[in-house]
Structure 1
Amino acid sequence: MTRALIVVDVQPTFCEGGELPVAGGNAVADAVAAYAAAHRDRYALVATTQDWHVDPGDHFSDHPDFVDSWPPHGLAGTPNADLHPALADLAPDVSVRKGQHAAAYSGFEGTDDAGHPLADLLQEAGVDAVDVVGLAESHCVRATALDAQRLGLATRVLTDLTAPVSAELGAAARSELAAHGVALVRSDD
């Protein structure tokens, strides 16, 4: 198999101190960085995704419901929308940004700077399997992994390299992922 590592939305905006923090976000950033550095040889390609909101419409709200609307986060061009500083040495092969003008949870809704969608970039590299890590497990990791599986990629979520918005949402996401054939494994398995 030709496997890619997809690092989803590991950005300060989703970590402690950010606009939409996930508990454990900074620890996930550190763990993803260490894992990628130690295991880069397992992957034909490393891809990153970023929320990169310009004007996402009703995705942002002053009175968010935290289901369909959220406080402003991942603001394009701000330091909190950049990749987390822990990933400074990651040197991804592919970087996509998503959500410029609409809500976007899946990394497969993103494009690189030349406008190429993630699915095309993976296909061009001959990728047929992916490991998905990052933030948040219950939202963008879940959506990215489900889309990868739908595209016919053998998909795993490395459960110790992600964190959910809440324990309940994390459990629901893992149940949905498993029901759709996504493998839930630890990075040391």
Structure 2
Amino acid sequence: MARALLITDVQNDFTEGGALGIDGGTAVVERITAFLRRHAGEYDLVVASRDWHDADGDNGGHFAGATGPDFRTSWPVHCVAGTPGAEYHPALDLSFVDVHVRKGQGEPAYSAFEGTTDTGADLVDVFFDRDVHAVDVVGIATDHCVRASALDGVHAGLDVFVYEDLVIGVDPAASEAALDEVRDEGGHTGRSDMDEGRQRPGGAVL
């Protein structure tokens, strides 16, 4: 059985200077690339997801209207398909990425499992076709798309592990609650700089 790394929404609009930029976002992207350079060979598949919203319309209410965003279910315009804000942050080394997933095309979508690959395949089918049973999750934002992706992975029967030092959230309290929720649902969390040889819950030695 195989193991995958899921890099969630490491995009310009979610880092400093973007439409929904998070302070510290660039540093997380740099740490993810450093982690890939050390550990990419331990993964059978590396997947990266992106918000990829339609330029026309409100994407099913995801983009706020005249009343403004509530920052829970409606948001400022961000990650519009084909714009610089929707592109991966330049600090992410894309040479390690095997599969790209786009989500939120005309409708709200937080989880990478709601998106499709460049060939139109669902992510869960990609994992099952590759016999992936374990997925490590990193990226942006802990309290939104990382949370949703990790939970959907758990609910799909995958052994999910979120690296706490390779994610960053919008709100610290909500981010901690999101990690608690992942653990409560049967996922695991921890740091990428674990002691040499320490067992990752579910199997693989780090």
What's the TM-score, normalizing by structure 1? Answer: 0.97
Matched residue, 1:180: 185
Q: Is 2:127 the partner of 1:122?
A: yes
Bigger shift: 118-127 or 54-63? 54-63
User: 2:35, 2:125 → 1: CA distance?
Assistant: 25
Matched residue, 2:16: 16
Matched residue, 2:82: 77
Q: Give the C-alpha shift of residue 182 in structure 1.
A: 1.1
Matches within 5 A, 1:125-164: 125-164=130-169
Q: Give the C-alpha shift of residue 160 in structure 1.
A: 0.2
Matched residue, 1:58: 61
Matched residue, 2:201: none
User: 2:16, 2:63 → 1: CA distance?
Assistant: 20
Structure of greater Rg: 2
Report the AA paired with residue 118 of structure 1. Answer: L
User: 2:14, 2:161 → 1: CA distance?
Assistant: 22
* Post-superposition CA distance 1:122-154 (Å, at most 9, x none): 111110000000000110000000000011110
Whether the 8 Å contact between 1:49 and 1:97 is mirrored in structure 2 is: yes
Q: Give the C-alpha shift of residue 23 in structure 1.
A: 2.1
* Post-superposition CA distance 1:22-45 (Å, at most 9, x none): 221111111111101110111000
* Counterpart secondary structure, 1:85: coil
Whether the 8 Å contact between 2:48 and 2:101 is mirrored in structure 1 is: yes
Whether the 8 Å contact between 1:33 and 1:90 is mirrored in structure 2 is: no
Report the AA paired with residue 13 of structure 1. Answer: D
* Counterpart secondary structure, 2:132: coil
Report the AA paired with residue 91 of structure 2. Answer: A
Runs (4+) off by over 2 Å: 88-91
Matched residue, 2:41: 41
Matched residue, 2:26: 26
Whether the 8 Å contact between 2:40 and 2:96 is mirrored in structure 1 is: no
* Post-superposition CA distance 1:29-76 (Å, at most 9, x none): 111111011101110000000000004131001400001100001110
Matched residue, 1:105: 110
* Post-superposition CA distance 1:85-110 (Å, at most 9, x none): 01144331110000011110000001
Whether the 8 Å contact between 1:36 and 1:90 is mirrored in structure 2 is: no
Aligned residues: 189
Q: Give the C-alpha shift of residue 21 in structure 1.
A: 1.0
Q: Unaligned regions of 5+ residues in structure 1, if any?
A: none
What's the TM-score, normalizing by structure 2? Answer: 0.89
- Which structure is higher in helix share? 1
Report the AA paired with residue 19 of structure 1. Answer: A
